[in-house]
Amino acid sequence: MKINIYYGGRGLMDDPTLYVINKMQTVLEELHVTVERFNLYELKNSITTLPQTIKTADGIILASTVEWYGIGGYMYQFLDACWLYGDKEKIAKTYMCPIVMSTTYGERDGKLTLAVAWEILGGLPCSGICGYIADSSIFEGNEDYNKIIEKKAENMYRTINQKLASLPASNQAVKQMVSITKNIDLTPQESEQLSQYASDDSYVKRQKQDIQELTSLFRDLMGNTEKEDGKEEFITEFKEHFVPQAGFKAVYKIHIEGKSKPLIIEINGPEHNYYYGNVDNPDVEIQMARETMDDITFARMTFQRAFMGGAMKMKGDFKILRTLDQIFVFQERVL
């Protein structure tokens, strides 16, 4: 028999979960069980490959510590990897014992989270352990607590050895009816290779760079076929609706979704200049969707309303931003 332990804590010396799994490992090894431990905090860059290790195990222990809220990110990543890359047929035959110790509040919720997650994955449940342990030293010399841990280890061994059945869980039925996650139609070898690629930081970084290069190339090609990236788009509307303000001088840089270059508006009293390009240190820098710019130029919205409504982001002088609605009047205003 083989049991894998997946520890999702941070490996702190006073972590009470470490004491519990060490004790359980000792008991299981006395029962001639092969025990292998995986510390997720040490294997954080290869968590997506760890579901493959379940294939050689008859049962597993999922152990985590609640330090402030929930079972911790490493354990969530491991469960996500089991859902995406794990062998569901093997998981369905694998028993799981949840162990959650808490130094704050929430050990029962944590244990329930692990149990429910494993059932949704299709696995078999074992009775787990949870408790609030403010100081791990309370285990030392406490025979009652140690007997509880030893008993849980023996019960897990007995459950796996006798292959005890369990009643169906409702969350399994719900998952089958409402789950929209599609199984990846790959062989176990292909799935393992895919998970290894996903955990390879250099591979993922290279793929992101390739995607960025392709996006830039596609955008440039679109720019050449669409009147040089819409060279005059929106500029005519601004020119026709310009209302000069004496003594006002400002430079606006407007990033429009879908445009490879921002729209630059330069105002100096009655003089005004527009072009798609770049400028350093504008007075106001704006980011918006194309639809928002259409709403403004078609008089359905003002710049200030777009900003206040969250349809537009800006940085710079807010007073200069408000002046946009005074120097570009796309609608008649009722004062």
* Domain boundaries defined on the chain: 2-197, 200-227, 235-327
The confidence score (pLDDT) of residue 333 equals 45
The confidence score (pLDDT) of residue 81 equals 93
**pLDDT tens, residue by residue, 42-76:** 998 899 999 999 999 999 999 999 998 899 999 99
Range with the poorest average pLDDT among 57-66, 89-98, 222-231: 222-231
Overall CATH class of domain 235-327:
alpha beta
Structure tokens at 59: 């049962």
- Pick from 157, 155, 133: which is nearest to 145 by CA? 133
The confidence score (pLDDT) of residue 199 equals 55
- Does the pLDDT of residue 283 top 80, yes or no? yes
The confidence score (pLDDT) of residue 212 equals 76
User: How buried is 49 (Cβ within 10 angstroms: 0-12 exposed, 13-18 middle, 19+ buried)?
Assistant: buried
**pLDDT tens, residue by residue, 155-198:** 999 999 998 887 777 766 655 555 545 555 555 555 555 655 65
The confidence score (pLDDT) of residue 79 equals 95
Domains 2-197 and 235-327 agree in fold: no
CATH T-level topology, domain 2-197: Rossmann fold (3.40.50)
User: What is the amino acid identity at position 33?
Assistant: V
Structure tokens at 48: 């997506």
